Structure 1
Amino acid sequence: MGLGTAAMPMSQPQAPQLPSSSPVEKRKRAPFLKASPAMLEAMIEEEGARQTVYRDVAGYPTVGVGHLVKPEDGLRVGDRISKDRVLDFLEQDIAIAERAVARLVGDLPLFQNEFDALVDLVFNVGEGNVSAERSPRLNEAIAAADYDAIAEELGYHHAGGSIAKGLIHRSERRANIFMDASYEDPREAAGGSSVA
């Protein structure tokens, strides 16, 4: 038997108000999180959304929002793709990064902004570069559930063996996202250009 509107009380009891100091969000396990719209916007700002295949700062063929071209993509430098394909590549690459973060952190619970920063890290440097062998301090910080130490390990500044200024700014932004849930481009706050 279903409840009709006649069975509903006219006024619902109000939920008690939480004190302003109570956290609204709780940390969750990574498999239950997805990159937020704010993170996707920040990634697009950092990477750009290019429809023509180009070589990134490390010399790798790249297209869309930082998508590294693979042989199965059937693309070469100079080829042009549709906006829909840009979005398809982004969706695929984000899903790969989300799963990699879940493997990286294991059972460590994360706030949305912490998860977002780690997704950006894996998206930007690849899962292999955050492995225990290549990033031992990051993995030790995760094992110790030391969130401050994790934030300190989010900086990656080299591409193709050289320091890349854009990666320095991106690392700063990533740390701001992780620690303060601040998705703004730090270059804009400093009065600079948001282009890497």
Structure 2
Amino acid sequence: MARLEDKRRRIRAGLRTKRKKRKAAFALSASVMGLNTAALDSATSMQQAGVIAQMQDAGAIPDANGRVEARFLETSDEMKEALIEEEGVRLTVYRDVAGYPTVGVGHLVKPGDKLRVGDRISEERALDFLDRDLQIAERGVQRLVGDLRLTQHEFDALVDLVFNVGEGNVSEARSPRLNEAIASGDYTAIAAELEYHHAGGAKAKGLVYRSERRTNIFLEATYEDPRELRA
């Protein structure tokens, strides 16, 4: 058990490092283009007001409810912790409850990965898979919600949903009520559509708890495992 927790801790630390490097690269690019904070600080108050207005128009500044457009958000550390707890960290390729080859932190093996059941990967490769899968899920959420504003915890819950079930399963054809709730901006109705309990045609108890956790994150920013809260 201790070895598993050590593995999870290393994966979490590695993911944070990768995200920090990506943010630093973005900051450097912005600096090269003359968009660094020093340049903004030296601007006149009128120019600053214009920048703020543009940011507000773009949806980057939180509204009265703390919501911004999804394109300005990325998965929080709290959500990464919760996701790693739910998925676990397995370095040997196995079949998940639906029968799909899986490895790392819930990464569905693709042909390009050139892996078979029983193959073993490094922690670094598991980290790369997780980082890429999170980016895919984040973009999926952005496409799903469009210009609907979200808080950080609402965004996190939707990232977990897309990560868990795939973007195709939250499409308008497969999840019409979720899409209707998003289109109408009904956050309570969105929360009611976050439960996905079946895998491989059967109800999975683990997915029931995960769905409950996801709903709690969306509504209350409560990231704790409901199984532990009942223990």
Q: TM-score band (shorter)?
A: 0.7 to 0.9
Deviations for 1:37-63, whole angstroms, at most 9, x for unmatched residues? 000000000000110000000000000
| Separation in 2, partners of 1:189, 1:160 | 28
The number of aligned residues is 170
**Counterpart residue number, 1:78:** 118
**Counterpart residue number, 1:95:** 135
Deviations for 1:114-161, whole angstroms, at most 9, x for unmatched residues? 000000000000000000000000000000000000000000000000
Deviations for 1:13-47, whole angstroms, at most 9, x for unmatched residues? xxxxxxxxxx9971010110000000000000000
Q: Bigger relative contact order, structure 1 or 2, given CA contacts below 8 A and separation 6+?
A: 1
**Counterpart residue number, 1:33:** 73
Give the TM-score normalised by the residue count of structure 2: 0.72
Asked whether 1:51 is paired with 2:105, we answer no
**Counterpart residue number, 1:7:** none
Describe how 1:112-123 pairs up with structure 2 within 5 A: 112-123=152-163
Structure with more helix by fraction? 2
In structure 1, give the amino acid aligned to 2:83: M
Give the TM-score normalised by the residue count of structure 1: 0.85
Aligned-residue RMSD, C-alpha: 1.3
State the identity as a percent. 72
Unaligned residue ranges in structure 2 (runs of 5+): 1-41, 43-62
| Separation in 2, partners of 1:49, 1:92 | 16
Describe how 1:110-149 pairs up with structure 2 within 5 A: 110-149=150-189
Secondary structure in 1 aligned to 2:222?
A: coil
**Counterpart residue number, 2:199:** 159
Structure of higher CA gyration radius: 1
| Separation in 2, partners of 1:165, 1:97 | 23
| Separation in 1, partners of 2:116, 2:196 | 27
Unaligned residue ranges in structure 1 (runs of 5+): 3-22, 192-196
In structure 1, give the amino acid aligned to 2:150: L
Asked whether 1:67 is paired with 2:107, we answer yes
| Separation in 2, partners of 1:101, 1:57 | 24
| Separation in 2, partners of 1:162, 1:25 | 38
